[in-house]
A and B are shown apart, each in its own frame.
Chain A
Amino acid sequence: NAGVTQTPKFRILKIGQSMTLQCTQDMNHNYMYWYRQDPGMGLKLIYYSVGAGITDKGEVPNGYNVSRSTTEDFPLRLELAAPSQTSVYFCASTPDHLNQPQHFGDGTRLSIL
């Protein structure tokens, strides 16, 4: 039972480069989320999706884009990487928004130099 899988686990980018962080879940969850975690801080919500074809902005969406073409996948795209986007990125999923806890991936550690 894989749960939520994120790839890659680590990445170093140069300023201005672009990349896509992959997230896939095999639990048939409708709700998926992307968070970033900065040192000494909690998780900040970047984008979320309540189902295939539907996405919405979270607390800190600037500089990111997402898509949700299937229930399983929720990729996060950085178009023009900036040093401020150095962080650990977590993807999470949950069956619904009512009372089910979120299941988290292991994270992607991204450094922008």
Chain B
Amino acid sequence: GEDVEQSLFLSVREGDSSVINCTYTDSSSTYLYWYKQEPGAGLQLLTYIFSNMDMKQDQRLTVLLNKKDKHLSLRIADTQTGDSAIYFCADRGQGGKLIFGQGTELSVKP
């Protein structure tokens, strides 16, 4: 079945760039999403990319999509302590259902 994989942890220093990676298996993906989850909260949509795009930039966020390798990444420029959270990659699969990765816990050290 469809699957989405992420590394579990990433630690960076404040001011550095963070790159969170994701791979997926569904060839029919139309949209791929990045969600942010802060402790004790629900999921907040950060950004998304349509499958016919290679890149999307939104302020400090850059999404790169390599459709051939089924690889998605989220780059956060000038990472701040407020960016510490769990980041989920999600693939909109067949029937519109979202398939989530396990989440990457980003820790930003001052």
B42, A90: Cβ atoms closer than 8 Å = yes
A99, B31: Cβ atoms closer than 8 Å = yes
**What is the interface of chain A, defined by CB distance below 8 A to chain B?**
4, 31, 33, 35, 40-45, 48, 58, 90, 92, 94, 96-99, 101-107
B42, A31: Cβ atoms closer than 8 Å = no
B97, A48: Cβ atoms closer than 8 Å = yes
Which of these binds chain A: B10-18, B57-65, B72-80, B98-106?
B98-106
For this complex, 23 residue pairs linking A to B, each with C-beta atoms less than 8 Å apart, are A4-B42, A33-B98, A35-B100, A40-B102, A41-B102, A42-B4, A42-B100, A42-B102, A42-B103, A43-B88, A90-B42, A94-B96, A97-B95, A98-B30, A98-B96, A99-B30, A101-B33, A101-B48, A103-B45, A104-B43, A104-B44, A106-B41, A107-B42
B42, A45: Cβ atoms closer than 8 Å = no
Nearest residue, chain B, Cβ from A6: B42
**What is the interface of chain B, defined by CB distance below 8 A to chain A?**
4, 8, 30-31, 33, 35, 41-45, 48, 50, 88, 92, 95-98, 100-103
The distance from the CB of B14 to the nearest CB of chain A, in whole angstroms, is 25
Name which of B4, B48, B96 has the most chain A CB atoms within 10 A of its CB: B96
- State in angstroms the CA–CA spacing of A48 and B103 once bound together: 22
Q: Find chain B residues with CB under 8 A from A99 CB.
A: 30-31, 50, 92
The distance from the CB of A34 to the nearest CB of chain B, in whole angstroms, is 12
